[in-house]
Structure 1
Amino acid sequence: MKIDINKIALNITIALLLASCNSIKRVADDEHLLTNNTIYVNDKVNKTETINNLLYQKDNRKFLGFPFRLHIYNLARPNIDSIVNSNIDKKPKKRERLEKFLSKKQLDKYVESRIGFNNWLKKTGEAPVILDDSKVERSIRRLEAYYFHNGWFNAKATSKITRNDNQRATVDYQVATGEPYIVDSLSTKIDSRVVDSLYLVSKGKSYIKLNKQYKTATFEKEKDRLTNYFRNNGVYHFSEDYVYFEMDTIDTNKKVKVDLQIQNRLIKIDDSSRREPFNIYKIKEVNIFTDYSYLDRNKTQKDSTSYEGYNLYSNDELRFKPKALTDAIFITPGSVFKDRDRTMSYRHISELRTFKYPNIEYIENQDTTLTANVYLTPLKKFSLSFGAEVSQSNIQQIGLSFNPSILMRNVFGGAETLELTAFGSIGASKDAANDEDRFFDIQEWGADLKLTIPRLFFPFNTESIIPKSMSPSTRISISSSNQTNIGLDKRTFTGAINYKWRPNDKVTNRFDLLSSQYVRNLNPDNYFNVYSTSFTTLNDIAQDIGYIGPDDELGIPGQANEFIDEVLSNNPPPGLTDDDIQTVNYIDERQTRLTENNLIISSSFNYVRDNRSSLFDESFSIFRVKLESAGNVLSLASSVFNLEKNNDGNYEIFNVAYSQYVKPELDYIKHWDLGNKRVLAMRSFFGIAIPYGNSNSIPFSKSFFAGGTNDNRAWTAYSLGPGSSDSNDEFNEANLKIALNLEYRFNIFESLHGALFADAGNIWNVLDNVEDESATFTDFSSLEDIALGTGFGLRYDFGFVVFRFDIGFKTYDPSYQNSNRWFNDYNFKSAVYNIGINYPF
């Protein structure tokens, strides 16, 4: 019997609607269900989120115009516990018989399950919104207050409630704003001469602008600005309570005269108080307690030293180099008090990863100076951690990985951290070239050593270029890994030294002075077992021309490579067409490229500008740019020392032709907050890697790929492109990439969100040794090969992580080279199902 899933789903939906179609099922006879609010501002409907959020009572939320959650709630039965127990007890001895048959514990579990499901319906659903006249009145007052605080001082709001005979009601709000008031003048009355002088210097940055509409928020922003400005210019005792604005609108023809008033400092002693002018405070001294403990707070410090005006104390022998600590503290002896210095010190000390969260206190002296006490509590010298993970992928049935690590703090006395991480994994798969089906035949192990220095480790003084306020740091790392799997097997050595600093809160810079990578393939003879599509194509050509029998296969690797050599020789086997020779040439080029060893020594610069104000900001942009250059140092050395070239005309180091290329990347992300938990997100990416000098292609590890969970979701990773080529290779890559993504995110209910998306992009070969026209970018006409995938998805927000499920459909497929490319595989059978963690961008 054939089961129609669509009909079953439809029947379930209809049953749900019929069971709960009565919207007023849970509405009492003397109550009315609120079904709609309409706000008219000056006789025009206003549907903006800002205005509608002012209402104290809103109608039940709708999904596609249907109050879905209300009907889920209506499925729940009130007093379900009483109902279930009553049904059991309505017949004599029924409970006793059930307890004998199920046991008392199982019967209790049954009752609990009925109650639990009922509670789930209530929690998932939404109770009917009952019209409340008092909330309507409060909404009127809030509407008037909103417009008042935005300059419409004479705004009036009214309401009209319509109660229908079917126990449903609507509310219409009418707001008449009148003419707005304009800020006409700004005068000041500042008692303290010090504060008045500072104000005159900064008044050009005031948020209060003349001839602009009055807004209360503007004056709040100005109050915050003045408070921060004064406290960061020495006025230690200042607070926002001292800033007061007096407004005059009497007989001003809708003009507002503003008077800014700042009184002297208020000093309270017992029951008396007095006012004194504010003073500028300076930092007299800074005391750093390097190993503070509350239990030892009264002990005499055994060790102390002074460094550039700072006093450092320790209960035991001082273990830190003074400069390492003073570089992280921005409160400077002899400087004017600045409130932000304490905030910056907190942040920089925490970044050292050497101390618990610090405590900084100011003590006021008699001579308008301050003493700053910095209390640091060191973390333990060593810390151990261990991580483990179980995974599954398209090449392994199951994988187990682990990564123990040890962290050593204050390695050289300068708050440096040294972290040694070991990693290892084993996995189960089947090697097509191995008759012994070993269960754990995937293995990877290695170690990573990282030294982090909380300053720029450089021969020259860089303080004038990159001051300590930019949080400079240096990381030196080396790592090695050995991989044995069903692939080519690899042994990798890497090393790097990079610098990182932040010019401001939005921008992060990273400069990789030196990054080296050596990759050696340990099992290149296994190539055709891994890239089975290339082998199948090669084998079909050999069968077609009679090189082998129709049921035979080329031997791997010997016979397959011999066949390639013969085809590309001056005397190829008979029966080959030009297309066959070209195809074999492509296979040979790809095999050579993917089995060659790589030596990459490069430098790069990364610039990131992130405008997010917080983790919850949904209206922001992120711009990333990266420029990487490889092989230039080795090229210069090869020329200077007149090294010999190999048969391909390339210089070699350690018998490996080093890579030489330049690789710029641009990445831009933009989010627009549309309100009501709706977000429009956009991403654009462009990257190109251009080989030159000692290289005519880009190493596989540095090339681009398309498709996947965070890219074009209508194609699996590595399956899209290059260009319009109909490639079935397992790993398609190229050296030029364009990607454009657009996603509309919306809330369904509670923590469940939905998304509609469109992903466009592709990869191409350009300026390298690939000659396939369908895979290369020749001119702007190649842009017609940009693939388009569209789809939808669900996201569930767990708070600490977002689980994501997306379905991508191939909307425009450039691999259909000579036919219509639109909607050829636009169906669920050909769709790609993606599971991911967090949002793709």
Structure 2
Amino acid sequence: MIKNNIKFKSVIAVSTLAIFSSCSNTKFLKEGQMLYTGAEVKVEGDSISKKQKKALKAELEDELTPKPNSSFLGLRPKLYAYNIAKEPKKDKGFNYWLKYKFGEKPVLLGDVDKEFNKDIIVNYSENKGYFNAQAKYDTISKNKKARVIYTLNPKSQYLISQVKFQEDSTLINKEIQNLKDKSLLKVGNPFDLGVIKAERERIDNGLKEKGFYYFSPDNLIIQADSTVAKNHKVELNVKLKDQTPDLAKEQFSIDNVIVFPNYNIRDVKEGKYQIPMDKDSLSKYAYGDIYVIDSEHKFKPKIFDRALYFKKGDIYNRADHNLTLNRLISLGVFKFVKNDFIVSDSLNHKFDAYYSLTPRQIQSLRLETLGRTNSANYGGGEVNLNWTHRNFFRGAEQFKASVYGAFDVQMGGAKDANNIIRVGAKTQLSIPRIVAPFRFNSSSAFVPRTNIALGYEYQSRTELYTLHNFNASFGYVWKENVRKEHDLKVIDITMVAPQTITDKYREQIDGNPEKGIPPNPTLGRVVEKQLIFGPTYTYTYTNTTSPQTNTFYYRGMLDLAGNITGLVTGANAKKGDQKDVFGVPFSQYAKMEHDFRFYHKFNEKTSFASRIIAGLAYPYGNSEFVPYSRQFFVGGSNSIRAFRARTLGPGSYDPRTQNASFYFDQAGDVKLEMNAEYRANIVKFLNVAAFVDAGNIWLINDEINAQGQITRPGGKFSKDFLNELAVGAGVGLRLDFSILILRLDLAMPLRVPYYEKGDRWVLDRIKFGDSSWRKDNLILNIAIGYPF
């Protein structure tokens, strides 16, 4: 509570300091002190181009130390906070946080070692091939502030004229010669020490793939000779150092592979765990080509045979080394994986591979509780009890079972939305291999899995209806690499059966002429018996885990329900020939969805994020409509935030015209959504954002009631769909408390698709000073994590 209190106060402090930090920080300086405001590097001379000067200047300025106090819009609020905060008596509390956590100690001119920085400039320039670089510096001061100007004259940059790979008759030299065709050192390129270091790493990686386990990049030397060439040229000679150890020159192969699946540090201290193992005692632990030291038989040896890529007699290579470690970790049953290679036959250059595996807690029981609100005026909570067994059949199979209960209560709004109660249970068995009648080989670092899931949920919408929802699936998940993942459910079955439908809800479905309520078959489809079965496939590609300026995320989904059954039975719902399975009409449709995201990082504190989602669900054969549970929805905290969850669309349909005494979720068969967000970090835990959202949903076919009326006019997809896009914008706060990110987004509509044509943009009707306008148009979304 104290920690959160400090963080709340800090939000106020940041705002206050932004106002008052314009006051001069120099008044806090002592006599003779000068505030250091930064440095600049000027690159002079006609020997290099403007482009080279610009690049060299940016690189050199980044190398200079120390960095001046941080600034924001020309102000230094962190320095001001340090100056005004009193010296705390204890290393805690708000005053301590303000001075030493948020605040920054002043960086003075006296802290700058100008000679040291001048040497850095010269050395860095020489490393980039400017061998005759010269530098000087000058200090400019005014009003107790000082900056340093460094001037560099780099002369001409030396270029590579020749690259030699020194040859001899050794095996390691032969492998180095095989690697030279892909050298990073190119004739005509500038001399660059960074590239030379990268070339040593490249050769080292190549040799590691050929069995030279003990080799190191430090065993290579790349000699540069600028005396044998003219006109600023340099020759490079790549060779092994004379003092390279003999062990580093030897190619090693695998002798024995030994696994300790129950390793723990106590066994090491008590002397129970020994490396190397006595060769005479290994035979009783043999399983094929490997040895599994598991006297308690907690694990089936075959799981290690699948995960280990090293076999007896294999030449060592780093790819299989890393692949094996990653696959052991991805089994999900081991907390730590340790690997050792011990020379077993120095004459024939062989070593034993030891894998010491520390198991995770095999079983765990976790109770989760959470509270939530959403933009549709609901508040509620959820309780989950989860049991996990990570070695269910001794083959690293993960079995998960959970029971849960949830409720959502209406907390306001124009109509009675009724309360929602959900109670359910679900189980999943995840097997670390592909269980199939065909052979599936994967060389990925991630173990492929077969997943079997069963679930049941009871849902009650008070005063309206209660439903039973059963689901089951069987499928596979596999990753090609860290970027590409496939999720194929060979069969995904959902059965929805109503238990009770109240007269109040039935009246809305069938209509009541006396009360002026027209029939609404859309509501009937929510509670009708549904049987959905078929395969689904999801493909995900992402490079967002890489530290790049531009990153991407793509998720594509394909859902094919009832296709083969519909084809075999000749079902045709439009002609009245609808087929049943176990007395329930089965659904037949094709659905796809594409989610593409792009992220651009401007610097360490600011970034841009965008997303486009496009989806289509098309019913045919045995279905005239896509099942309600498989349709698309928009609005809410992770969608178009200016509109409440599931209240937008379809098309230009106006939900305010519905006669129901409650809101019902708006669903559609076509979805288009676009989002853009600018994100900035203010202090460590406080982030702000400005965003724009646009999109809508539409129907493939109009829904007609018994009187021949269209129940949701304007909802059908047409060529005019762009004119039916909703647009909203807003600002947000993101509080990063390490264990979670609390997000508060305040949004308002800019374009409302159900207004009359030509009157849908509402920019001229924004009235922040009008309380009734704010109540109707400002939507506060409270959520956990980022929206995308």
Same fold (TM over 0.5): yes
Matched residue, 1:24? 26
Distance in 2 between the 1:16 and 1:507 partners? 45
Distance in 2 between the 1:114 and 1:456 partners? 54
Against the structure 1 CA distance between its residues 56 and 306, is the aligned structure 2 distance closer, same or farther, given a 3 Å change threshold? same
Distance in 2 between the 1:745 and 1:260 partners? 47
Shift of 1:457: 0.4
> Is this contact kept in 2: 1:303–1:313, CA < 8 A?
no
Distance in 2 between the 1:431 and 1:598 partners? 32
Matched residue, 1:402? 383
Shift of 1:242: 0.9
Larger Rg computed on CA atoms: 1
Letter paired with 2:395: G
Residue 623 of structure 1: SS of its match in structure 2?
strand
Distance in 2 between the 1:263 and 1:479 partners? 65
Alignment of structure 1 residues 391-790 onto 2, 5 Å: 391-393=372-374, 399-425=380-406, 443-463=421-441, 466-467=442-443, 471-486=447-462, 488-525=465-502, 556-557=504-505, 563-564=511-512, 584=518, 588-614=520-546, 619-636=550-567, 638-639=569-570, 648-728=576-656, 729-766=663-700, 769=703, 774-779=714-719, 781-790=720-729
Distance in 1 between the 2:75 and 2:161 partners? 50
Residue 352 of structure 2: SS of its match in structure 1?
strand
Residue 373 (structure 1) aligned to one of 347, 351, 354: 354
Residue 200 of structure 1: SS of its match in structure 2?
helix
Residue 65 (structure 1) aligned to one of 74, 92, 95: 74
Shift of 1:634: 2.9
Alignment of structure 1 residues 799-838 onto 2, 5 Å: 799-822=738-761, 823-824=763-764, 826=766, 828=768, 829=774, 830-838=777-785
Shift of 1:131: 2.1
Q: In the alignment, does 2:279 pair up with 1:312?
A: no
Against the structure 1 CA distance between its residues 213 and 266, is the aligned structure 2 distance closer, same or farther, given a 3 Å change threshold? closer
Residue 197 of structure 2: SS of its match in structure 1?
helix
Letter paired with 2:751: Y
> Is this contact kept in 1: 2:467–2:527, CA < 8 A?
no
Against the structure 1 CA distance between its residues 280 and 36, is the aligned structure 2 distance closer, same or farther, given a 3 Å change threshold? closer
Against the structure 1 CA distance between its residues 266 and 606, is the aligned structure 2 distance closer, same or farther, given a 3 Å change threshold? same
Against the structure 1 CA distance between its residues 682 and 183, is the aligned structure 2 distance closer, same or farther, given a 3 Å change threshold? farther
Shift of 1:684: 1.8
> Is this contact kept in 1: 2:378–2:411, CA < 8 A?
no
Shift of 1:278: 2.0
Against the structure 1 CA distance between its residues 334 and 176, is the aligned structure 2 distance closer, same or farther, given a 3 Å change threshold? same
Residue 207 of structure 1: SS of its match in structure 2?
coil
Shift of 1:768: 6.4
Alignment of structure 1 residues 334-345 onto 2, 5 Å: 334-345=313-324
Distance in 1 between the 2:167 and 2:393 partners? 53
What do the CA deviations read for 1:64-89 (whole angstroms, capped 9, x no partner)?
Answer: 33333333344324x576xxxxxxxx
Against the structure 1 CA distance between its residues 808 and 380, is the aligned structure 2 distance closer, same or farther, given a 3 Å change threshold? closer
> Is this contact kept in 2: 1:396–1:427, CA < 8 A?
no
Matched residue, 1:142? 120
Residue 293 of structure 2: SS of its match in structure 1?
strand
Distance in 1 between the 2:679 and 2:58 partners? 17
Shift of 1:337: 0.6
Against the structure 1 CA distance between its residues 372 and 226, is the aligned structure 2 distance closer, same or farther, given a 3 Å change threshold? same
Give % identity.
Answer: 26
Alignment of structure 1 residues 219-368 onto 2, 5 Å: 219-250=196-227, 251-263=229-241, 266-267=244-245, 275=246, 278-292=249-263, 294=267, 295=270, 296-297=272-273, 304-316=284-296, 318-364=297-343, 365-366=345-346, 367-368=348-349
TM-score of the two chains, using structure 2 as the length reference: 0.84
Distance in 1 between the 2:103 and 2:113 partners? 22
Against the structure 1 CA distance between its residues 509 and 563, is the aligned structure 2 distance closer, same or farther, given a 3 Å change threshold? closer
Distance in 1 between the 2:428 and 2:15 partners? 57
> Is this contact kept in 1: 2:509–2:524, CA < 8 A?
no
> Is this contact kept in 2: 1:500–1:508, CA < 8 A?
yes
Shift of 1:21: 1.6
Shift of 1:603: 1.0
Shift of 1:718: 1.6
Distance in 2 between the 1:681 and 1:492 partners? 37
> Is this contact kept in 1: 2:375–2:644, CA < 8 A?
no
Shift of 1:209: 2.3
Residue 181 (structure 1) aligned to one of 135, 140, 158: 158
Shift of 1:827: 5.0
What do the CA deviations read for 1:417-457 (whole angstroms, capped 9, x no partner)?
Answer: 2222222235666999xx9xx9xx75432221111111000
Matched residue, 1:541? none
Distance in 1 between the 2:127 and 2:366 partners? 54
> Is this contact kept in 2: 1:683–1:742, CA < 8 A?
yes
> Is this contact kept in 1: 2:214–2:247, CA < 8 A?
no
Distance in 2 between the 1:291 and 1:176 partners? 63
Shift of 1:681: 1.9
> Is this contact kept in 2: 1:425–1:444, CA < 8 A?
yes
Letter paired with 2:300: K
What do the CA deviations read for 1:520-574 (whole angstroms, capped 9, x no partner)?
Answer: 2334337xxxxxxxxxxxxxxxxxxxxxxxxxxxxx356555545x69xxxxx9x
Distance in 2 between the 1:750 and 1:518 partners? 48
Shift of 1:471: 2.1
Distance in 1 between the 2:91 and 2:216 partners? 57
Shift of 1:618: 5.7
Alignment of structure 1 residues 79-118 onto 2, 5 Å: 79=87, 116-117=94-95
Against the structure 1 CA distance between its residues 427 and 742, is the aligned structure 2 distance closer, same or farther, given a 3 Å change threshold? closer
Residue 151 (structure 1) aligned to one of 110, 116, 129: 129
Distance in 2 between the 1:612 and 1:28 partners? 48
What do the CA deviations read for 1:96-143 (whole angstroms, capped 9, x no partner)?
Answer: xxxxxxxxxxxxxxxx89984375256433344322373344333333
> Is this contact kept in 2: 1:645–1:652, CA < 8 A?
no
Distance in 2 between the 1:200 and 1:186 partners? 12
> Is this contact kept in 2: 1:265–1:276, CA < 8 A?
no
> Is this contact kept in 2: 1:184–1:211, CA < 8 A?
yes
Which has the larger displacement, 441-450 or 496-505? 441-450
Unaligned runs of 5+ in 2: 1-10, 657-662, 705-709, 769-773
> Is this contact kept in 1: 2:638–2:787, CA < 8 A?
yes
Letter paired with 2:651: G
Distance in 1 between the 2:718 and 2:652 partners? 12
Distance in 1 between the 2:587 and 2:102 partners? 58
Against the structure 1 CA distance between its residues 603 and 69, is the aligned structure 2 distance closer, same or farther, given a 3 Å change threshold? same
Letter paired with 1:630: A
> Is this contact kept in 2: 1:809–1:827, CA < 8 A?
no
The number of equivalent residue pairs is: 735
